[in-house]
């Protein structure tokens, strides 16, 4: 069975009362970014 | 089962699915607030004596449960995710040392009104419509990065002012290769060969910030995209005054800034007959329909005024006196004044 991929990050306790959240993010160089930029390009070229 | 009942049941029963070493672990359900106040529910399993615990977001598991998946199987899957999570390779104690962290700071620019609750917990400075929040870049590869948001308790631990953090983050971001591309270049770069045949030029002009403005031809209909090499949190470059000025040198005048996402912004020469109403409507529509909610930067179009060397809300720039009462003491991104518009704060 193929494993599904879920979002996750870590809560790290640096000291007493000091906690930070360590997040993992993938680079945004993806199709979703190109899609909304292309929407802007299409709308703006007719201005 | 409602979502609240599901969360409670997961919290009560997950230990039955965890290995023996988790027998004395604490199991917590916490609400995590992301950019633009996007809230998610995390299951946190804290092993005794451990200083790091995974946040496993269980909203997606609840969605699967609603699709009639077996609860027992879902608990097994949550336990599997929690126990097999790849732990960040970091010495937590280093995070308390500001001198070690200051070069790792980066600005995450957000809309201050869309994050008003969240900002109460975070170190931030206000700049016009925006607030600069700060992340520590823990590790960075071609695939992505691990970061931590700087909250108030971290600032207290560091013993520095937020203004110091801001200045150090500005310096650090300048070293992360700011980039200004023509729109067609950046789309082609992201889409690669998929874009072949769409009429875009084969020869790309590259990063315009690295060129002499005299050598760049900009048409009034050109669209430019301002971001950084990693295309992550690139909207923070709007706080770099030298970059804004260089963009103006390249364009040869004033320009509009469309807040396309927290990762990049779109620059348009303020020439011809651009209607601000149209730009504002476009930004709202694209934000509403296409941008991931946690990556929306703002609905407020900005304007770079070359004479005053400042970035300002475009609506206020258009008529500062008329719009004066809509703002507050953080009206202008650079803190300067629209002297040639007859307005003094």
Over residues B206-223, the pLDDT tens digits come to: 999 999 999 999 998 899
Contacts of B32 in chain A (CB under 8 A): 21
| Local confidence band at B36 (pLDDT 50, 70, 90 cut-offs) | very high
What dihedral do alpha carbons B60, B64, B70, B72 form, nearest 10°?
-10
Give the DSSP H/E element, type plus range, for residue B328: none
How far, rounded to the nearest angstrom, does the alpha carbon of residue B153 sit from its chain's CA centroid? Answer: 21
The span from the CA of B90 to the CA of B285, in Å, is 41
Cβ count near B307 (within 10 Å): 12
Angle at B308 between CA B304 and CA B311, to 5 degrees: 30
Q: Which of A4, A25, A40, A45 to substitute to test the interface with B, most B CBs within 10 Å?
A: A40
Q: Which of A13, A22, A46 to substitute to test the interface with B, most B CBs within 10 Å?
A: A22
Cβ–Cβ contact B161 with A under 8 A: no
Cβ–Cβ contact B83 with A under 8 A: no
Using DSSP's 3-state secondary structure scheme, residue B131 falls into strand
Q: Which of A1, A4, A16, A24 to substitute to test the interface with B, most B CBs within 10 Å?
A: A24
| Local confidence band at B342 (pLDDT 50, 70, 90 cut-offs) | very low
Please tell me the predicted confidence (pLDDT) of residue B284. Answer: 98
Please tell me the predicted confidence (pLDDT) of residue B251. Answer: 96
pLDDT of B332 higher than 60: no
| Local confidence band at B163 (pLDDT 50, 70, 90 cut-offs) | very high
Bigger pLDDT: B272 vs B301: B301
End-to-end CA distance of chain B: 56
Subunit contact A18:B154, Cβ cutoff 8 A: yes
Contact B216, B205 (CB under 8 A): yes
Average pLDDT over residues B192-200: 57
Cβ count near B296 (within 10 Å): 23
Chain B, window 38-77: residues with a beta carbon less than 8 angstroms from a chain A beta carbon:
44, 51-57, 60-61, 77
pLDDT of B69 higher than 80: no
Q: By CA distance, what is A37's nearest residue in B?
A: B187
Subunit contact A37:B183, Cβ cutoff 8 A: yes
Q: Chain A closest CA to B234's CA: distance in Å? A: 11
Using DSSP's 3-state secondary structure scheme, residue B67 falls into coil
pTM (2 decimals)? Answer: 0.89
Contact B309, B330 (CB under 8 A): no
Contact partners, residue B19, CB within 8 Å, separation at least 6: B83
The span from the CA of B27 to the CA of B82, in Å, is 11
Residue corresponding to tokens 């609506």: B315
Contact A32, B292 (CB under 8 A): yes
How far CA A1 is from CA of B136, B306, B326, in Å, comes to: 37, 59, 56
Nearest to B55 among A11, A41, A43 (CB): A11
Please tell me the predicted confidence (pLDDT) of residue B319. Answer: 78
pLDDT of B201 higher than 70: no
- Summarised one tens digit per residue, pLDDT across range B95-123 is 999 999 999 999 999 999 999 999 999 99
* Phi and psi at residue B226, to the nearest 5°: -105, 120
The encoded tokens of residue A8 equal 């996750």
Cβ–Cβ contact B221 with A under 8 A: yes
How far CA B93 is from CA of A16, B136, B154, B165, B297, in Å, comes to: 12, 14, 12, 19, 32
Cβ–Cβ contact B89 with A under 8 A: no
* Phi and psi at residue B10, to the nearest 5°: -65, -45
ipTM of the modeled complex = 0.86
Angle at B292 between CA B289 and CA B295, to 5 degrees: 125
The span from the CA of B261 to the CA of B293, in Å, is 10
The span from the CA of B61 to the CA of B74, in Å, is 7
What dihedral do alpha carbons B50, B54, B59, B61 form, nearest 10°?
-100
């Amino acid at each position: 069975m193929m494993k599904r991929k879920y979002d996750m990050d870590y809560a790290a306790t640096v000291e007493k009362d000091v906690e930070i959240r360590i997040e993992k993010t993938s680079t945004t160089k993806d199709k979703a970014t190109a899609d909304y930029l292309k929407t802007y390009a299409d709308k703006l070229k007719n201005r | 089962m409602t979502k609240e009942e599901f969360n409670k049941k997961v919290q009560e029963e997950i230990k039955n699915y965890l290995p023996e070493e988790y027998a004395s672990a604490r199991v917590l359900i916490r609400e995590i607030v992301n950019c633009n106040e996007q809230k998610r529910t995390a299951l946190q399993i804290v092993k005794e004596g451990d200083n790091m615990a995974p946040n496993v977001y269980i909203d997606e598991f609840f969605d699967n449960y609603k699709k009639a998946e077996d609860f027992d199987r879902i608990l097994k899957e949550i336990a599997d995710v929690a126990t097999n999570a790849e732990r960040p390779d970091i010495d937590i104690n280093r995070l308390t040392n500001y001198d070690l962290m200051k070069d790792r700071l980066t600005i995450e620019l957000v809309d201050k009104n869309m994050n008003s609750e969240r900002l109460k917990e975070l170190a931030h400075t206000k700049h016009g419509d925006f607030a600069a929040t700060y992340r520590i870049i823990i590790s960075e590869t071609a695939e992505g990065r691990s970061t931590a948001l700087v909250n108030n308790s971290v600032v207290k631990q560091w013993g520095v002012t937020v203004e110091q953090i801001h200045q150090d983050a500005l310096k650090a971001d300048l070293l992360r290769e700011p980039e200004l591309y023509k729109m067609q270049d950046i789309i082609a770069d992201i889409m690669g060969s998929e874009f072949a045949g769409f009429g875009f030029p084969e020869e790309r002009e590259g990063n315009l910030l690295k060129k002499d403005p005299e050598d760049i031809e900009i048409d009034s209909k050109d669209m430019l995209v301002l971001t950084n090499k990693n295309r992550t949190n690139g909207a923070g470059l709007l706080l770099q005054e030298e970059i804004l000025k260089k963009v103006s040198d390249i364009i040869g005048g004033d320009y509009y800034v469309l807040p396309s996402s927290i990762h990049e912004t779109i620059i348009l020469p303020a020439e011809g007959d651009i209607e601000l109403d149209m730009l504002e409507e476009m930004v709202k529509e694209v934000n509403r329909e296409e941008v991931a909610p946690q990556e929306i930067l703002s609905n407020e179009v900005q304007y770079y005024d070359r004479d005053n060397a400042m970035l300002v809300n475009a609506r206020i720039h258009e008529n500062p006196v008329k719009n004066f009462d809509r703002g507050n003491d953080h009206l202008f991104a650079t803190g300067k004044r629209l002297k040639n518009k007859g307005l003094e704060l």
